[in-house]
Structure 1
Amino acid sequence: MPADQPESPLHAGALIGREVRDRHGRIIGRIADIETARDTDGRERVTALIVTAGRWGRLLGYERHETVGPWLLEHLARIILRRHTTRVPWPDAHV
């Protein structure tokens, strides 16, 4: 995101599904999830975006490697969902 934009509250719904581009302007994929961390002021800050190149929308949480669930869903997530996901650090995201 450009550094010259003023900070304003960001709603996850405004980001989910949006295209993310690399620094050369090529489309990486669409935002499937958002990683956040609490800052020193106690506010949640976006730290990274989980981007999927496939046509999957929300991935039911299985795009994250730390998600554990029924073995069959976990196995399918490993084979199908995660192969097209990328973690893009927030400062590198061009939304």
Structure 2
Amino acid sequence: MPADRPRLRAGAILGRPVHDREGRLIGRVADIETRRDEAGRERVTALVVTAGRWGRLLGYERREAGGPWLLEQLARVVLRRHLTRVPWPDVRL
């Protein structure tokens, strides 16, 4: 995470609109990807953005999520079709 970024709570990010570099709306934040740094702190690495009406996606937006076959198919067809993974340095909230 760049040093000039302020500290934010997840609740302040989820649901916010995200724009691309040209200012066009990509969608709204549905999930936050993090990774633990060498000091043991969680750092944001990317945002999962959805162009659809879905808010929180219950984890099924991730390809590695497992579950009952029917829920996996629903996630593949409905939830994942409008997802975009935006790396944190490219985020414009």
Residue 31 (structure 2) aligned to one of 33, 58, 69: 33
Distance 1:77 1:6, change over 3 A: closer
Whether 2:73 is the aligned partner of 1:75: answer yes
Rounded Cα–Cα distance in structure 2 between residues aligned with 1:85 and 1:6: 24
Rounded Cα–Cα distance in structure 2 between residues aligned with 1:26 and 1:5: 23
Task: Give 1:40 deviation, angstroms.
Answer: 1.1
Alignment of 1:1-95 (within 5 A): 5=4, 7-8=6-7, 10-95=8-93
Q: What TM-score, normalized to structure 2?
A: 0.93
Is there any run of 5+ residues in structure 2 with no aligned partner, and where? none
Distance 1:7 1:84, change over 3 A: same
Rounded Cα–Cα distance in structure 2 between residues aligned with 1:70 and 1:11: 32
Q: Which letter does structure 2 place at the counterpart of 1:89?
A: P
SS state of the match for residue 33, structure 1? Answer: strand
Distance 1:6 1:46, change over 3 A: closer
Task: Give 1:41 deviation, angstroms.
Answer: 1.1
Percent pairwise identity: 70
Rounded Cα–Cα distance in structure 1 between residues aligned with 2:36 and 2:79: 28
Structure 1 runs, 4 residues or longer, greater than 3 Å off: 3-7
- For the aligned residue pairs, the C-alpha RMSD in angstroms reads 1.6
Q: What TM-score, normalized to structure 1?
A: 0.91
